[in-house]
């Protein structure tokens, strides 16, 4: 569903070059849940943005759903990939109601049956009809993230890109959102890439996990290998040792 080979992303800030991603390659099969972990600044978000065509990149191959992804994505391309970001407050328009927010993508794509689909999307993510006409500030953080997830899924995209979707949330709410994502992934047959700095979160939700450091991919391990500490790279072992509570949650 996603194939990247030799992905490079370089940012130019005042005469300086920042090589945010260097030679990253991996493939994600249809229906697979892929994870990316690594410390802050290691290039995780930039990989997701490159896949979505949100930053300029260079690669030998960058395929989405079996097609070479063009630098400028068409509306049909954009529809295949949806993003959920860390901070649901910043990503939801403060003066639009939940109803407006969910309706908008359907209207842009001239879909039919909009009212019913908004209602279904709300119940899919565990929100109630009373939440439909509220503004984002009238919802809890977890409820806002449910709205962001409903918006991402409302056009039934094959691919969901999740960038730290739970790290702004309370621990108890984190678990609820993670379980929701797990359930939706199955019911929507989604292919997903989840970025997190939390090894327990990716081990819980992902089949395979890429470890990144300084813009490079260090290794790819299975969730089972990560849980068992059966990893190849010293850096991954260090990350494992540093993630306190990992064994408890996993």
Which positions touch ligand ATP (CB under 6 A)?
11, 13, 18, 20, 38, 40-46, 197
Closest CA to 52 of 13, 82, 24, 30: 82
Q: How far is the CB of 163 from Mg ion (least distance, A)?
A: 6
Name the nearest CA neighbour of 147 among 167, 111, 118, 189.
118
Is the Cβ of residue 49 or residue 146 nearer to Mg ion in the bound state?
49
Residues of the shown chain interacting with Mg ion in the complex, contacts defined by CB under 5 A: 45
* 35, interface contact from Mg ion, ligand ATP, none, CB < 5-8 Å by kind: none
In whole angstroms, how close is the CB of 45 to Mg ion at the nearest point?
A: 3
**Structure token digits, residue 245:** 């509570």
What distance in Å separates the CA atoms of residue 188 and residue 183, rounded to the nearest whole number? 9
The CB-nearest residue to Mg ion is 45
Backbone angles phi, psi at 216, to 5 degrees: -115, 155
Distance of closest approach, residue 47 Cβ to Mg ion, in angstroms? 9
Q: Which one of ligand ATP, Mg ion, none is in contact with 43 (Cβ closer than 5 to 8 A by kind)?
A: ligand ATP
Please state the closest distance from residue 135 (CB atom) to ligand ATP, in A: 27
Two structure tokens written together for 45? 């978000």
By DSSP bridging, strand 159-163 and strand 81-84 are parallel
């Amino acid at each position: 569903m996603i194939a990247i080979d030799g992905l490079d992303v370089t940012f130019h800030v005042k005469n300086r070059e920042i090589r945010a991603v260097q030679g990253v390659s991996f493939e994600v099969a249809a229906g697979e849940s892929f994870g990316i972990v690594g410390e802050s600044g290691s290039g995780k978000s930039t990989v997701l943005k490159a896949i979505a065509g949100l930053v300029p990149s260079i690669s030998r191959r960058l395929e989405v759903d079996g097609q070479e992804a063009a630098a400028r994505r068409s509306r049909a391309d954009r529809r295949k990939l949806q993003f959920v970001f860390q901070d649901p407050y910043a990503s939801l328009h403060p003066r639009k109601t939940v109803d407006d927010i969910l309706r908008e993508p359907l209207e842009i794509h001239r879909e039919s049956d909009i009212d019913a689909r908004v209602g279904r999307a709300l119940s899919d993510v565990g929100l109630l009809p009373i939440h439909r006409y509220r503004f984002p500030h009238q919802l809890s953080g977890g409820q806002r993230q449910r709205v962001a997830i409903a918006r991402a899924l409302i056009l039934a995209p094959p691919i969901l890109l999740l960038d730290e979707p739970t790290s702004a949330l309370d621990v108890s709410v984190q678990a609820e959102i993670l379980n929701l994502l797990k359930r939706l992934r199955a019911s929507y047959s989604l292919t997903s890439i989840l970025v997190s700095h939390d090894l327990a979160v990716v081990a819980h939700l992902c089949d395979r996990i890429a470890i990144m450091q300084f813009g490079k991919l260090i290794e790819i391990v299975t969730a089972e290998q990560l849980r068992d500490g059966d990893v190849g790279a010293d850096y991954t072992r260090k990350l494992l040792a540093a993630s306190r509570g990992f064994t408890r949650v996993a």
